Amino acid sequence: MRQPTSLYFTVLFLLLLSLCWGQRSNPDGERPSCDRCNRQLSCNCSHGGFTRVPTVTDRALTLDLSFNNITVVTADDLKGHLRLRTLSLHGNRIAVIHPSAFDSLWSLEELDLSDNQLTALNHTWFSKLGALRELNLLNNPYSCLGSPPVFQSLFRLRRLRFGGPALEELKRGDLFGVTQLEELTVNANNLMRYESGTLAYVWPLGCVTLSLHSPFLTNISLASAVLRDVSYPETPLILEDIHLIGNLSVQPFRESARRRIRKITFHNFRVSDEAIVNLLEVLDGVPLTALIVDNVTLTGEGRWARASWSDHKSVDEFFVRNTVVLDVFKFVSFLELGFLLKYPRKVSVINSQVFVMPCATSRLLVSLQYLDLSDNLLTDMTLEESLCKGDSSLKDLRVLNVSGNSLKSLSAVSQLVTKLSKLTHLDISRNGYISMPPGCSWPSTLRYLNISGAKLATVTPCLPATLEVLDLSNNNLRSFTLALPALRELHLSGNKILRLPPGQLFPNLQTLTIQSNILNMFARSDLQSYSRLQELQAGQNKFVCSCDFVSFFQSAINGGGDMHLTDGEESYTCDSPFERHGHLVGQVHPSVVECHRVLFVSVSCGVALFVGTLLTIVLWRLHAFWYLKMMWAWLRAKRSSRRRRQRRDEEGSEGLLSYDAFVSYSERDASWVENFLVPELEEPSENDGDSVNPRPPRPLTLCLHKRDFLPGHWIVDNIISAMERSRRTIFILSENFVQSDWCRYELDFSHFQLFDENAAGDAAILILLEPLSKDDIPKRFCKLRKLMSSTTYLEWPQDEERSGEFWRSLRNALRGDDEEDE
């Protein structure tokens, strides 16, 4: 057997060595990362399966690393986190922390190292944490706090939790450096050695929580010393995990009684009848104001009358929650507890399976002002018994809480509480109300009413007009239109409301909560009727992120106006339009086009009109319209001309020239054309011959628009047709010609003919009827200006003696083709 055992340890040693080598060989760059940080720089890296401290942004203010598998915190894991204020390493397997692991956390205020595997505490961990206010070291396997004092540098510490199942010893000086605490929690269930005065070192103490198992309480001297050091009149004492069986286990509480403790709480409390009687006797005459018992198991039968002689007049509050009676059928009535029940003004019996409080017991509560029977088994019938219907019991009751029971009738509840003439607060939430009757009777003093968590679909005038606070959350309401003039707070979260209730119904409303409904938008105009509204909580709705809503919301979160959104910007997300679904409303930035459509259209139209006007002026200055008009007319005329030629070709006729020249002139120059040009060219006289050619010149045929254009045809077609059937085109240039639109058409049509690839270069003959320079020709006639620069033109002589030479030159120009043909 020895050889297999040695082999086992050898393999285990090699495995551990490989693991250690693997950890040492891992460079820091291979550390996992965590990017689960919100806008408030709170990083939640819990339940992430991390085996090492992950890298996070060094701007983080809160870092939660709880419930991972971290075993070691090295010197470099938290370097650079100078701004970190809260660090939680709860619920890991940390066994080793480097002495300087927390040195860079100068701003740290809260540190949680609970539920790990720390077998010893090192004071160097906390030496640089001068700002630390809260430290949790619970449930680690250390047996003592160690030396030198662990907390000696934590002068600002205000909340301290330490101890666990392994804690065995507490010595004087362990808490050196801790000057005062608001909360002290010590888990000392298995404490074996305690030096008196250890916990007394800290003063003042705000609240003390001790976890003390029964074996510890049976060590009377040890338990008495601990209770003596933490019991003060103004310090609430919370005792956890206690099992009181008999007289012996109660004796340590005599120390607390001597110190005149005023408030004591038992949590996870198991107690017998004998122990209760002994405890009441020990606390006889103690000015105890509050007795609180949470998670209590009663092992007896409720026979506590033997302590009826004890004095507990000072008890003002009696609180019991989560009660279990082991033998409920043998448990006697509380009628024997009149000596204890007649003093408290506040009684709470919560989640204790109470189905009825007999009226006889209720009559014992003669000083009662506050009664909480929530989360029990009360019905409409048993509530009648508990409130003693028909008599004046509980006449001083001001607050009644019967939420979380099995009540069904709102009308029955209202009738029961009508007799409570001093009732101001009523909580009947989380019951089975389905409908609200049209009318109800309530005490005139009622100011607060909670009917949340029911199944109400509508509201009626059943609600009292005296209400100042109304909670109808988590029902099935679709609207709220009931006038409540005194209302200051209205809670409507968790319903199916589409629009905000009209503000005119609540002139004094200051707080409105309407979260988790189907509200899709609201704007500043919707809230103007709420004259006094100061706080609005409307998050977690299906918002349509329109421009008005986004603008209102962003101004509200930036402090605009008297009303404030108090439920956090992250609660407001867009549901539509689709492209913004899931986006935070505060981060949405609609376009100007979307938000100011009318203004944008107006400005756009104005700009377009301005640009159009400017472009029109520019085009007009550049004669672009004239060019377009001329081009259009030319193309149309060319198509007409092409069709005419096709018809002539189909008819078999030849395209003969009908005129020697087409004359283009201004109507204002018609007298010169008719009195000089036409007679000279069409009707030459016998004397028109010259010395070279004495014969009279051949009469020429001219095309004049007045005489030869076909009536009923488009004038442009006539112009093109006349030019096509003429050998030449004569332009009578003058100031009148330049100003004439039709002359410009004729000139430009001629321009297209002149530069057509099949046209002759001398088809145009220019006659200057009066002196006209090239600069007088409009710049849009660029080809004509070029032609005047490169071609000889005829000038009408002002001297009549030279007119003969002019006519001969013109005839020669017109007869050029004939002479070449000859």
Nearest to 386 by CA among 334, 433, 434, 421: 334
Rg (CA), the chain: 54
- Asked if residue 247 lies in contact with residue 223, where contact means CB atoms within 8 angstroms, the answer is no
- Asked if residue 120 lies in contact with residue 142, where contact means CB atoms within 8 angstroms, the answer is yes
> What phi and psi values does residue 789 have, to the nearest 5 degrees?
-80, -25
- Residue 475 CA to its chain's centroid (Å): 26
Q: How far apart are CA 367 and CA 371, in angstroms?
A: 11
Q: How far apart are CA 234 and CA 425, in angstroms?
A: 29
- Asked if residue 570 lies in contact with residue 39, where contact means CB atoms within 8 angstroms, the answer is yes
Sign (positive or negative) of CA dihedral 715, 720, 721, 722: positive
DSSP secondary structure string for all residues of 170-237: E-TTTTTT---BSEEEEE-TT--EE-TTTGGGS-SBS-EEEE--HHHHHSHHHHHHHHHHH--TTS-E
pLDDT higher than 50, residue 241: yes
Q: How far apart are CA 329 and CA 351, in angstroms?
A: 18
CA–CA–CA angle 440, 446, 451 (5° rounding): 65
- Asked if residue 492 lies in contact with residue 477, where contact means CB atoms within 8 angstroms, the answer is yes
Q: What is the mean pLDDT of residues 788-804?
A: 76
Nearest to 475 by CA among 497, 500, 503, 502: 497
pLDDT higher than 90, residue 230: yes
Model confidence pTM above 0.75: no
Q: What is the mean pLDDT of residues 261-286?
A: 93
Q: What is the mean pLDDT of residues 336-358?
A: 90
Q: What is the mean pLDDT of residues 199-211?
A: 92
Q: What is the mean pLDDT of residues 651-677?
A: 78
pLDDT higher than 90, residue 185: yes
How many other CB atoms are found less than 10 A from the CB of residue 606? 10
Q: How far apart are CA 508 and CA 532, in angstroms?
A: 6
Share of the chain above pLDDT 70, in %: 84
pLDDT higher than 60, residue 819: no
Q: Supply the pLDDT for residue 724.
A: 78
Q: Supply the pLDDT for residue 822.
A: 43
Q: pLDDT category, 643, cuts 50, 70, 90?
A: low
pLDDT higher than 50, residue 355: yes
Partner residues linked to 88 by β-bridges: 64, 112
Q: How far apart are CA 81 and CA 641, in angstroms?
A: 90
Q: How far apart are CA 73 and CA 552, in angstroms?
A: 48
Q: Dump pLDDT digits (tens) for 523-581.
A: 777 888 898 998 989 999 988 888 888 887 887 766 655 567 788 788 888 988 888 88
User: Which of the residue ranges 70-79, 302-311, 654-663 would you say has the lowest mean pLDDT?
Assistant: 654-663
Chain mean pLDDT for the chain: 85
Q: Choose from 131-135, 388-392, 700-704 the range with maximum mean pLDDT.
A: 131-135
Q: Supply the pLDDT for residue 86.
A: 97
pLDDT, greater one: 516 or 645: 516
- The token duo for 141 is 């396997």
pLDDT higher than 90, residue 718: no
Q: How far apart are CA 319 and CA 370, in angstroms?
A: 11
- The token duo for 255 is 């120390």
Q: DSSP assignment, residue 292?
A: E
Q: Dump pLDDT digits (tens) for 463-472.
A: 999 999 999 9
> What phi and psi values does residue 122 have, to the nearest 5 degrees?
-120, 125
Q: DSSP assignment, residue 271?
A: E
pLDDT higher than 50, residue 14: no
HEC profile of 15-53: HHHHHHHHHHHCCHHHCCECCCECCCCEEECCCCCCCCC
3-state secondary structure at position 511: strand
Share of the chain above pLDDT 90, in %: 51
3-state secondary structure at position 105: coil
Ramachandran category for residue 352: left, alpha or beta (phi over 0 → left; psi -120 to 50 → alpha): alpha
HEC profile of 608-667: HHHHHHHHHHHHHHCCHHHHHHHHHHHHHHHHHHHHHHHHHHHHCCCCCCCEEEEEECCH
pLDDT higher than 50, residue 722: yes
User: Which of the residue ranges 20-24, 95-99, 382-386 would you say has the lowest mean pLDDT?
Assistant: 20-24
The two beta strands, 62-64 and 86-88, are parallel
Q: What is the mean pLDDT of residues 223-230?
A: 93
Q: How far apart are CA 505 and CA 510, in angstroms?
A: 13
Sign (positive or negative) of CA dihedral 354, 358, 361, 363: positive
